[in-house]
Amino acid sequence: MNFLEEWIHSVIGQELRRRSGCGEFRDGDHHPEIKGQDIKGYQLWKISEVVKYTGERSPFYRRLYQRAGISPGKVRSLDDFSKIPFTEPRDLIRRPNQFCCVPQSEIFRGFSADGTPDSLRVFYTKDELDRIVASIAAALRMVGLKEGDVLQIMFPPEAEWGCDYLVSRAAESCGASAVVTGQGLLEEQVQKMVEHRPTMLIGSNPYLYAITGLAEGRNLHRLGIKSIILSRGCSYFPFDESIRREVQEVWGCRAYDQYGTMEMGLAVSMECPAQDGLHINEADLFVEVVDPETGEVLGAGEEGELVFTTLSRRCMPLVRYRSGDISRLIEGKCKCGAEILRMEGVKGKISRAEGGASQPA
Ligand SMILES: [Zn+2]
């Protein structure tokens, strides 16, 4: 069991209890043990709910289901689900509003791939952002963030409620303090490290690797940093064991791979101290691995393209969304003792030319 698994179990336990009409957990209530089959049952239930919900509320999905001959209220098995056509990033770029399932007034924050109106955009309610913060907090605790720690966040500055802010709120909810220092000139970043004396770092993989290049000459290992999170969100950055080894040797601590995308709520999966695959947030995401050419769902452990379905989003749920990212799933118990699903670090990105095979317009 690790902190992320504990959080996932409590979310799923709460949802299953609500579903069975037992109300919410209160302090002192006995939390039933969540097993692998409970997670699978929870996910199937949530999948059928999200298909029904999007069929009722999203113009894009209503049309998609109609054209594919899918009855959104009757998806009850993974076999039924696998007949739903994929959603592609270009569908979101073309018609983001057709994915929205709540009134405009409930949209709290939009994220855009490059800040322009023509780029990929995803919208969230305030509750959804709070849930993202909670999942990030669980992942930070999994790699040792504790009360009194200082997390230095090296993500580019964003408008309010951006990625940097969500991570800092997550750190603060763990009792740690957070300092956001952007992703500026390396020399300035090093100065800020000396000034703030962080105990943990998070930033994009290439940026932290570049900082590592300076760290040796400046004796930055003396800061005593205990964990470094190499984030690979939104775009593909190479990460291999030689990069990890170098980072770990220079700083004298563990370096963790983290994967997230804007569409999937930034925090998809992260390594635990066993560094044997990234634990996936199974409370909020259902993951399939498909053959990138044929779209066929691949068996356990086979390498292919990650396809995600959001399980808890109301604003802009996505069903069978093609990430373009290549990886494989790892089943079975992790060395840390947790049994939640893991994935290997992303190995590459498929770029699909705009205007290729697409979903119905
Ligand atoms: Zn683990």
pTM: 0.93
- Position 344 scores a pLDDT of 95
* 101-131 as b/e: b if 16+ CB within 10 A: beeeebbebebebeeeeeebbbbbbeebbeb
Give mean pLDDT, residues 185-192. Answer: 94
Among 51-60, 72-81, 224-233, name the one with the lowest average pLDDT: 224-233
Nearest 5°: CA angle at 131, between 127 and 135?
Answer: 170
**Mind listing the pLDDT tens digit for each residue in 95-106?**
899 999 999 999
- Cα 334 to averaged position of ligand 1 atoms, centre (Å): 5
Contact 171, 144 (CB under 8 A): no
pLDDT range class, residue 17, cuts 50, 70, 90: confident
**Mind listing the pLDDT tens digit for each residue in 207-238?**
999 999 999 888 888 899 999 999 986 565 77
- Cα 289 to averaged position of ligand 1 atoms, centre (Å): 20
- Cα 339 to averaged position of ligand 1 atoms, centre (Å): 8
| Residue 115 confidence (pLDDT) above 70 | no
> Which tokens go with 26?
């209160």
| Residue 29 confidence (pLDDT) above 70 | no
- Cα 186 to averaged position of ligand 1 atoms, centre (Å): 32
pLDDT range class, residue 361, cuts 50, 70, 90: very low
- Cα 272 to averaged position of ligand 1 atoms, centre (Å): 5
| Domains, the chain | 3-349 (3.40.50.12780)
- Position 1 scores a pLDDT of 84
- Cα 338 to averaged position of ligand 1 atoms, centre (Å): 6
Distances (CA, A) of 171 to 79, 189, 296: 40, 20, 39
**Over the chain, what is the mean pLDDT?**
91
Contact 47, 75 (CB under 8 A): yes
- Cα 274 to averaged position of ligand 1 atoms, centre (Å): 5
- Cα 53 to averaged position of ligand 1 atoms, centre (Å): 33
pLDDT range class, residue 32, cuts 50, 70, 90: low
| Residue 355 confidence (pLDDT) above 60 | no
Among 117-121, 210-214, 288-292, 324-328, name the one with the lowest average pLDDT: 117-121
- Position 234 scores a pLDDT of 54
- Cα 201 to averaged position of ligand 1 atoms, centre (Å): 20
